[in-house]
């Protein structure tokens, strides 16, 4: 991370926007989660975002300007039966974003999360490949708008939070979940 | 991008309370009306303040924008029926409703009397219900629509005063979620915007007390009053197809105030 930020500073002179998006999904009930599963998912999803926010924050601080967007999940807000370490890592993302928002506010650096619901992205390619599988049908039926969210919708939310249209938005979560959490 | 709302018909309540050069600047409703027009929506400005509302609508028209004025007291069901009928007859459809009209109520619980309670809840809460219901009936016919309810950071966290206001704005958040679930089968989305401290006509009385203003702003992480235009951009996002899969949630535009 430090290396990438150094390179950005040398080649572009500044950084205005960071999207912490890299993530992995590990499934597993709390009783079946072993230490290495926990470490892996928390290193990438949670520690990865910390490092990104820290090093990008240092560069943005020089300009007194910036917007950091952390992709969390609906599983940062509620629990589910199938994953545990993942939920912990995404919950960490959500609260670390609020803490970073408060701590970086003096430098006019904004930090927000996007919490996507069930989206038809490569991580969930089975939604598209086996639309009639019982598991996929039951997830779809649980979504108020009755469909999987196109990745482009997440992109528009990121654009909004990255742009000056949201200059006064910080420390909050933008849910793009087709109404799933509201029920 | 300047056509994010092209072809859409929008109704914004409480959007006629100020002119472009008013001392307080435009409120959230007026700013939203302006940005909606720029994004090529057909906008119906409405308010109980008909003189200013008509004048503001003329100002929009003078800029070559597509705006119309109509009287609407949001606390009266008969007026909602009338305006929605008029919209259906004249425009054939309604794509966007912004329930923005609102009043403050400053007493704490012990000093809140029944009439304070009724006023805040009839306009802020019942107004949203009636709007959502009657706009929902029209939107349902098209199987599409976006309703944006303006709540407040005061709908999320509480303070020592403003008891009836907190209650009314909290109810807006919960009712928006219920409406989102109940209107989802008709592809009508319902979301809330929760603004923090903004220096509109609404908060003008606070400026008589500079000490109070300082104490408030000291609690805001980004350190200043939020321009009403920022609320307008959030409303544009939720009104546009960019948020087609966003429903039942809150967009908090509060400069970090409720994150601490
Ligand atoms: N300014 C802030 O700091 C702030 C913060 C959070 C939430 N809000 C909310 O934002 C909304 C807009 O407020 P604003 O700051 O633009 O203030 P504003 O006073 O400019 O706007 C409120 C508008 O509502 C109209 N209105 C009042 N009663 C009405 C009724 N019965 N029917 C129709 N219209 C009526 C008023 O004439 C006025 O034009 C309100 O709901 C308010 O509660 C404001």
- ipTM score of the complex? 0.91
What gap in Å lies between CA A138 and CA A156, rounded to an integer?
27
Packed helices B28-38 and B50-62: angle between N→C axes, nearest 10 degrees: 30
What gap in Å lies between CA B225 and CA B199, rounded to an integer?
6
Burial class (CB in 10 A: 0-12, 13-18, 19+), B157: middle
| A contact residues 67-106, partner B, Cβ 8 Å cutoff | 98, 101-102, 105-106
Into how many domains does chain B fold? 1
Closest C-alpha to B68, from B41, B95, B31? B41
Q: Which of B11, B27, B98 to mutate to test the pocket of ligand 1 (most atoms within 8 A of CB)?
A: B27
Q: What is the DSSP string of B62-73?
A: HTT--EEEEE--
Does the CB of A182 have a partner CB in chain B at under 8 Å?
A: yes
**Chain A residue whose CA is closest to B4:** A156
Whether residues B254 and A168 touch (CB distance < 8 A) is answered with: yes
User: Is residue B256, in this structure, part of any structural domain at all?
Assistant: no
Report the separation in Å between the CA atom of B146 and the middle of ligand 1, taken as the mean of its atom positions. Answer: 20
3 state SS of A182: coil
Beta-bridged to residue A110, according to DSSP, are: A67
pLDDT value at residue A10:
93
Report the separation in Å between the CA atom of B121 and the middle of ligand 1, taken as the mean of its atom positions. Answer: 13
* Ligand 1: nearest atom to the Cα of B76: 31
pLDDT value at residue B2:
85
User: Is residue B1, in this structure, part of any structural domain at all?
Assistant: no
pTM of the model: 0.95
- Domain enclosing residue B56, as ranges: 9-251
Q: Which whole number is the average pLDDT over B80-85?
A: 98
Please name the residue whose Cα sits nearest to atom 34 of ligand 1: B14
pLDDT value at residue A95:
97
What gap in Å lies between CA B213 and CA B219, rounded to an integer?
10
- Compute the nearest-CA separation of A146 from chain B (Å): 8
- Whether A93 and A114 have beta carbons less than 8 Å apart is answered as no
Is the pLDDT confidence value at B7 over 90?
Answer: yes
Whether residues B255 and A98 touch (CB distance < 8 A) is answered with: no
Whether residues B230 and A149 touch (CB distance < 8 A) is answered with: no
Please name the residue whose Cα sits nearest to atom 14 of ligand 1: B27
Q: Which whole number is the average pLDDT over B83-93?
A: 98
Please name the residue whose Cα sits nearest to atom 31 of ligand 1: B73
pLDDT confidence band for A80 (50 / 70 / 90): confident
φ, ψ of residue B187 to 5 degrees: the values are 55, 30
Catalytic residue, chosen from A49, A75, A86, A127, is A86
Q: Which whole number is the average pLDDT over A141-167?
A: 97
Query: Which residue among B221, B244, B251 sits closest to A171, beta carbon to beta carbon?
Result: B221
* Ligand 1: nearest atom to the Cα of B74: 32
Is the pLDDT confidence value at A161 over 70?
Answer: yes
Q: Of A77-81, A169-173, B123-127, where does mean pLDDT reach its minimum?
A: A77-81
Token pair of B4 as six digits: 């994010």
User: Is residue B78, in this structure, part of any structural domain at all?
Assistant: yes
Using a CB-CB distance cutoff of 8 angstroms, which residues of chain B are in contact with residue A183? 177, 181, 248
Query: Which residue among B222, B242, B252 sits closest to A105, beta carbon to beta carbon?
Result: B222
Pick the residue with more confidence: A80 or B8?
B8
Q: Which whole number is the average pLDDT over B1-26?
A: 94
- Compute the nearest-CA separation of B94 from chain A (Å): 20
CATH of residue B82: 3.40.50.720
- Whether B260 and B221 have beta carbons less than 8 Å apart is answered as yes
User: Is residue B98, in this structure, part of any structural domain at all?
Assistant: yes
- Compute the nearest-CA separation of B249 from chain A (Å): 6
Catalytic residue, chosen from B69, B154, B165, B237, is B165
Is the pLDDT confidence value at B164 over 80?
Answer: yes
Token pair of B241 as six digits: 């197809």
User: Is residue B259, in this structure, part of any structural domain at all?
Assistant: no
pLDDT confidence band for B1 (50 / 70 / 90): low
Please name the residue whose Cα sits nearest to atom 6 of ligand 1: B152
Q: Which whole number is the average pLDDT over A27-35?
A: 90
User: Is residue B54, in this structure, part of any structural domain at all?
Assistant: yes
Across chain B, mean pLDDT equals 97
- Judge whether A107 counts as a catalytic residue: no
Across chain A, mean pLDDT equals 94
Q: Which whole number is the average pLDDT over A1-10?
A: 92
Pick the residue with more confidence: A32 or B11?
B11
Does the CB of B167 have a partner CB in chain A at under 8 Å?
A: no
What gap in Å lies between CA B81 and CA B104, rounded to an integer?
26
What gap in Å lies between CA B67 and CA A171, rounded to an integer?
35
Is the pLDDT confidence value at A52 over 80?
Answer: yes
User: Is residue B173, in this structure, part of any structural domain at all?
Assistant: yes
Using a CB-CB distance cutoff of 8 angstroms, which residues of chain B are in contact with residue A108? 222
- Compute the nearest-CA separation of A67 from chain B (Å): 13
Q: What percentage of residues in chain B have a pLDDT greater than 70?
A: 100
Using a CB-CB distance cutoff of 8 angstroms, which residues of chain B are in contact with residue A176? 243, 245-246
Output the ligand 1 site: residues, CB below 6 A.
B 13-14, 16-18, 27-29, 47-49, 72-75, 100-103, 123, 150, 152, 195, 197-198, 200-203
Using a CB-CB distance cutoff of 8 angstroms, which residues of chain B are in contact with residue A180? 248
Per-residue pLDDT tens over the stretch B27-62: 999 999 999 999 999 999 999 999 999 999 999 999
User: Is residue B2, in this structure, part of any structural domain at all?
Assistant: no
Is the pLDDT confidence value at B131 over 80?
Answer: yes
């Amino acid at each position: 991370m430090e290396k990438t930020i150094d390179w950005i500073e040398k080649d572009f002179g500044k950084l205005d926007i960071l999207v912490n998006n890299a993530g992995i999904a590990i499934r597993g009930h709390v009783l079946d989660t072993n230490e290495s599963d926990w470490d892996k998912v928390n290193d990438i999803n949670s520690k990865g975002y910390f490092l990104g926010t820290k090093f990008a924050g240092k560069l943005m601080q020089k300009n007194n300007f910036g917007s950091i967007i952390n992709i969390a999940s609906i599983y940062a807000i509620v629990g589910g039966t199938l994953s545990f370490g993942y939920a912990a890592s995404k919950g960490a993302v959500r609260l670390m974003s609020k803490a970073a928002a408060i701590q970086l506010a003096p430098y006019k650096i904004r930090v927000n999360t996007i919490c996507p619901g069930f989206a038809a992205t490569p991580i969930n390619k089975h939604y598209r490949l086996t639309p009639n599988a019982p598991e996929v049908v039951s997830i779809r039926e649980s979504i108020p708008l009755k469909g999987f969210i196109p990745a482009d919708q997440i992109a528009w939310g990121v654009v909004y939070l990255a742009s000056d249209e949201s200059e006064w938005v910080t420390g909050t979560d933008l849910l793009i979940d087709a109404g799933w959490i509201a029920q | 991008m300047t056509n994010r709302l092209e072809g859409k018909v929008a109704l914004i309540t409480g959007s006629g309370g100020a002119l472009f050069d008013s001392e307080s600047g435009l409120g959230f409703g007026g700013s939203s009306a302006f940005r909606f027009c720029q994004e090529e929506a057909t906008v119906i400005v409405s308010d109980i303040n008909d003189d200013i509302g008509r004048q503001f609508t003329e100002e929009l028209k003078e800029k070559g924008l597509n705006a119309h004025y109509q009287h609407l007291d949001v606390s009266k069901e008969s007026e909602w029926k009338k305006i929605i009928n008029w919209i259906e007859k004249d425009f054939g459809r309604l794509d966007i409703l912004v329930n923005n009209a609102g009043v403050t109520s400053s007493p704490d619980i012990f000093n809140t009397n029944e009439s304070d309670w009724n006023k805040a809840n009839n306009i802020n809460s019942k107004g949203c219900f009636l709007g959502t219901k009657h706009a929902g009936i029209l939107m349902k016919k098209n199987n599409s629509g976006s309703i944006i309810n303006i709540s407040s950071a005061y709908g999320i966290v509480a303070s020592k005063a403003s008891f009836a206001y907190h209650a009314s704005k909290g109810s807006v958040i919960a009712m928006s979620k219920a409406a989102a679930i109940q209107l989802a089968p008709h592809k009508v989305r319902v979301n809330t915007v929760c603004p923090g401290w903004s220096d509109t006509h609404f908060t003008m009385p606070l400026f008589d007390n500079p000490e109070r203003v300082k104490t408030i702003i000291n609690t805001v992480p980004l350190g200043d009053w939020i321009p009403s235009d920022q609320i307008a951009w959030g409303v544009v996002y939720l009104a546009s197809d960019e948020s087609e899969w966003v429903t039942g949630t809150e967009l908090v535009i509060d400069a970090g105030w409720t994150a601490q």
